[in-house]
Chain A
Amino acid sequence: MKRLMWLVPVVVAAWLLPYGLGGYAIHVVDVAIIFAILAVGLGLTMGVAGQINLAQVAFFGVGAYTVAILTTQAGLGFWTASVLALLAAVVFGVLVGIPALRMQSHYLGIVTLGLALAFTNWVTNAHIAGRAEGISDIPVPPMFGIDLSSGYLFYYVELIVFAVALAFALLVTRSPLGRRLRAMRDDDLAAGSLGAEIPLLRMTAFVLSGLYGGLAGILYAGLIRFVAPESFNIANMFLLLAMVIIGGRSSILGCVVGAVALALVREALLDASGFAQLGYGLVVVLVVVFAPKGLAGLPEQIRSLLRGRGSGSRAQLGPFQPYDTAPRATEEDVLQIRDVTMRFKGLVALDDVSLTVPAGQIRGIVGPNGSGKTTLFNVVSGFYSPSQGSVLLRGREVTGLAPYRLAQRRVARTFQNLRLFEDLSVRENLLLGLDRTRTWWIWRYPSVPWKVLGYERALRRRVEDLIGRFGLAEVADAEPRSLPYGIQRRIELARAMAMSPTLLLLDEPAAGLNGEEVRQLAEIVRSIRDSGVTVIIIEHNMGLVMSLCDQVTVLSNGKVIADGRPAEVAVHPDVVAAYLGDSMSAPTEATAEAAAEEAAR
């Protein structure tokens, strides 16, 4: 409770504010609060979830217009109309968000902008929306005899709505959902491989956007009691964007500060609006170039400037604490790959590959560059859907399932080139692996928010065990990009193990590690196997493969050329030929790999 003490003066100040303001000033404040709610919504979708949504102002419009139409033309009461308006805005948000399932970044930006223009076009021309003149005489919202036509009293309504909306946004960003949204923003492939249901999360982002847009629209209709197309045009969308960027898009509080500040500045410069717009434009350009994280990121930026380059001592990894040994599992097959072929536009990366991995094994997959090893992992973990053949996980068909579905079936993987979430701390990276809830779990956010907080606390307790086990205590709060390569490899392994997988796929885990780190890696992988996890490992370090693996499969040119105990495989004539090779085939393989990667991108 003590941590919340700083809120008291803020609340008191907000409560007393109207006593010091004139009638027009309070109106300006009322409008600023509405913009703040809009900015929070945009911050959630764009800053936190990374969905370029340029239709936020249309969601705002849908909320306001629905209230206007339902109260003036269908004769509904203000609050009944409001509930329906909120619903309409959310539905509209989902519809606008559907393209996000197929495209991202600038593509999504242009489509949402186009849909926002379509909305303005409709309200400017539809009779029901009052055409260019808009709709006036929206009734004053009734409130137990309190006269809400007074800007002062309406301020208190807004203040309460705003406080709830802000608290909800903060709850979202500081809990499992927000963490997943940020992970999706940074790297949606890695987030998917950790079990984040990307399509549902993107739609969730747009639902939130619609919710905040609709809420702001309802308040706008109640405050101004007049709606017209120009309030929801592209220029206002730009103003809103400027608020979010200047404030700092990934910080909700930054968005609020940006919105309130810009709304007040705009009011102050009303007489010189031409120059004012020139000013916003310039400020936005300057912020983008010099302070990309906005006002919210400034303290951090200044601190790092003052601290300069000389950072302290080099981070150290602690020792790994082995897992408890589990009893030997039953002799079932964890993974069966049957006749899998993978083609990329005529290039055959995998050619009729079959292999079976029994439970509790460490299976090595080796082969020259371009032989299809990573493609095989991508098929097993759901990044590629094979052209032919099937993949079975413990006897159940999983061919072509999305990565998040495989992650839910406890398949974990690491990546050849490391895919840690760079803007999240090491601890948060691990928490993402640890959190096994599904997206539908978020119904708890509106209904039982305290349970969300309880779950988050429990997760944070559990993550400490994991941090301790992998010896990451010293680096738990650092950003991965600031850490040495060997530590990043360890973090990615810990993140995969956080998912408590039954099948673990390691893609060149020893690449870039020094001798001591490789030895530790072997020890960790053995302990993981002994705890009952089946491990498949792609590796070029033959010493490691020979000492670690129970069985080795050799791929060359997309075909399995040998399979057996390490010692047998190493002397197999085809394997020797593939590695030392006849010089004619080598360049073809190199080109094949390049082409396969090109096609995969």
Chain B
Amino acid sequence: MQVFLQTLIGGVTFGAVYALVAMGFSIVYRTMGLVNFAHGSVVMIGAYAASTFYMASKLPFAVAIIVAIAVTALIGLVIERFLRPLENKDFTLMLIGTIGFGAVLEAGAVLVWGATGHAVPSPVATGPIDVAGIRIPTYSLMVIAVAAAATGLLALFLQRTKRGAAMQAVAMDHQAATAVGIHVGRSNAMAFAIGAGLAALAGSLIGPMLYVNPTMGGTLGIKGFAAAMLGGFGSMPGAIVGGLVFGLLDSFAAGNFQEYSELVTFLVFAVIVMVRPTGIFGEATVNRA
């Protein structure tokens, strides 16, 4: 039981980060139909940016995160501008184009920060809290809280503000949105910037939990996509639930199969999506008629 709960907490912590990755991915996908395979690399850049500012300039961690978000949001705008001709077009080209961007970011990270990577000290100094024999790291609590707060803010933005509503409208029908006077390009750019910002947040949070290195984006990105797919592509609640489910799957696989956890995770994932390709809150179909 104790082991189970301990694994559960680890799973929820990683799940919260996966949910942030998946949400950033989903907001771009739903507003402009772009499957952004560079998203994982943006997460990696976010992790590097936050940890570098935090360690080199002795900024408080929160400030470092905000700087990182600003940096990656800018990168997001650049990617969006480049790939605009591909939006809502041939999927294969989008896939390759964004993978290409991912490679550029990864190579850029190697050139700037070197290939080896660095460890990030935990920004929370206090020891783990002991609840009925289960040790809950304070940093985990912070990650979960920050992720929850970000989710809440995003939901408020999408549902309560005019710009958020415009973005929802573009997601549903970009032609109709143009017809009622919404600047679709600007709305898309903003969605991309928000997506990249969420990626940076996820990257900054996961930095102290993992080793920050240029290739971390690949695995994190794929796990984020898998989470989005489990929840249902393009659905925001789906991204959250999918992220948590994937985090739990990941940590229980790690607990029971040690080094083979990745193998087990992706096999289980493949079986789940075979049974239910649309995910939990997914689009009506996968094969559009």
Contacts and interface: CB of A to CB of B under 8 A. Distances in A.
A416 to B, nearest CB: 12
Contact of B266 (A109, A117, A278): A117
Given A288-B97, A601-B289, A277 B103 contact: yes
B260 interface: yes
A292 B90 contact: yes
Given A99-B274, A242-B100, A284-B100, A110 B222 contact: yes
B277 A114 contact: no
Given A52-B95, A118-B262, A118-B263, A238 B83 contact: no
Given A125-B260, A278-B104, A107 B93 contact: no
Contacts of A110: 222, 225-226, 229
A117 B219 contact: yes
A106 interface: yes
A241 to B, nearest CB: 6
B99 A241 contact: yes
A114 B104 contact: no
Nearest to A112: B270
B contact patch SS: helix
Residue from the set A107, A292, A599 with the largest chain B CB neighbour count within 10 Å: A107
B92 A52 contact: yes
Given A281-B101, A289-B85, A274 B270 contact: no
A274 B284 contact: no
B222 A107 contact: no
B107 A278 contact: yes
A601 B263 CA distance: 34
A113 B102 CA distance: 15
B284 to A, nearest CB: 7
B93 A288 contact: yes
Contacts of A107: 229, 233, 273, 277, 286
B111 A274 contact: yes
A277 B35 contact: no
A567 B157 CA distance: 61
B288 interface: yes
Contact of A238 (B93, B103, B273): B103
A50 B261 CA distance: 31
A461 interface: no
Interface in A232-256: 234-235, 238, 241-242, 245, 249
A599 B274 CA distance: 21
Contacts of B141: none
B288 A277 contact: no
B270 A114 contact: yes
B124 interface: no
Interface string B201-240: 0000000000000010011001001100100010000000
B226 A281 contact: no
Contacts of B277: 102-103, 107
A413 to B, nearest CB: 14
A67 B262 CA distance: 24
A544 interface: no
A280 B286 contact: no
Contacts of B108: 278
Residue from the set B35, B259, B270, B284 with the largest chain A CB neighbour count within 10 Å: B270
A80 B82 CA distance: 50
Contact of B103 (A98, A284, A292, A601): A284
A46 B92 CA distance: 9
B100 A122 contact: no
Nearest to A288: B97
Interface in A279-294: 280-285, 288-289, 292
A356 to B, nearest CB: 28
Contacts of B101: 281, 285
A576 to B, nearest CB: 34
A360 to B, nearest CB: 32
Nearest to B271: A99
Interface residues of B, number: 52
B86 A288 contact: yes
Contacts of B103: 238, 277-278, 280-281, 284
A contact patch SS: helix
A598 B222 CA distance: 31
Contacts of B233: 106-107
Contacts of B99: 238, 241, 284
B148 interface: no
Interface string B185-215: 0000000000000000000000000000001
A188 interface: yes
A105 interface: yes
A383 interface: yes
A450 interface: no
A285 B97 contact: yes
Nearest to A285: B100
A161 interface: no
B267 interface: yes
Contact of B287 (A104, A283, A598): A104
A114 B266 contact: yes
B269 interface: yes
B71 interface: no
Contacts of A124: 259
A110 B286 CA distance: 13
Given A107-B277, A110-B225, A114-B266, A122 B111 contact: no
A579 interface: no
A599 B284 contact: yes
A169 B267 CA distance: 31
Contacts of A46: 92
A243 to B, nearest CB: 11
A105 B97 contact: no
Nearest to A50: B92
Given A109-B95, A110-B226, A118-B266, A285 B82 contact: yes
A241 B107 contact: no
25 contacts: A52-B92, A98-B274, A102-B273, A104-B286, A105-B92, A106-B35, A106-B91, A107-B286, A110-B222, A110-B226, A110-B229, A114-B269, A117-B266, A121-B261, A125-B259, A277-B110, A281-B102, A284-B97, A284-B100, A285-B97, A288-B93, A289-B83, A289-B97, A292-B93, A601-B288
Interface of B: 35, 82-83, 85-86, 90-93, 95-97, 99-108, 110-111, 115, 215, 218-219, 222, 225-226, 229, 233, 259-263, 265-267, 269-270, 273-274, 277, 284-289
Given A107-B229, A283-B100, 16 more contacts: A52-B92, A103-B277, A103-B287, A104-B287, A106-B35, A106-B91, A110-B229, A114-B226, A238-B99, A274-B110, A281-B103, A284-B99, A285-B82, A285-B83, A289-B83, A292-B93
- Per CB-CB distance, the 7 closest pairs between chain A and chain B, nearest first, are A284-B100, A281-B104, A281-B103, A277-B107, A114-B266, A288-B97, A121-B262
